[in-house]
Amino acid sequence: MRRPLAWLALAAVVGVGVLLLRAELMTVELETPEGSFTDVVVAAEVKQEDDPDAVREEMTRGLVSTCRLLVNADVVAESFRAVEPGVFAFRLRPGLDEFDVRELRGCLSDARVQHLLVDVLHLQTVTSADGVDAPDR
């Protein structure tokens, strides 16, 4: 009698564990509020180039174009700009949920473009509920 009860208890513990793990790993699509946006600032460094300043912006734009496809957002027209040498800012619409923020941060930090190293300095989603109604930059 004790053996079947032990197996039943073990099965219950494993079942609860699987359900909790599934909830943690499951991708969830969240609604993004209308008017939301995500501001991103990255620092880019080019390795092994004769003139890194000439290609840094182009390579960074290429990486941003690739990564924004993963999160299903668009770079706002004319928002991509150099803040200072090697530091670029841009805005994405619609705003990203927490899962997409992690996905974008990982993609931008990944060395997908050869000889380009990118560090995400700022990544923040702003919604109209935050009381900010910023125009497109």
Complete domains list, the chain, with CATH: 37-128 (3.30.70.3400)
Residue-level pLDDT at 98? 86
Structure confidence at residue 80 as a pLDDT band (50, 70, 90): very high
User: CB neighbours of 137 closer than 8 A, spacing ≥ 6?
Assistant: 76, 78, 79, 81, 91
Please give the sequence-ordered ranges of beta strands (E in DSSP) within 9-115, or none if there are none: 37-46, 74-75, 81-84, 87-93
Mean pLDDT of the chain: 82
> CA-to-CA distance for 46 and 60, rounded, in angstroms?
9
With a pLDDT cut of 70, the percent of the chain lying above it is: 80
Residue-level pLDDT at 135? 53
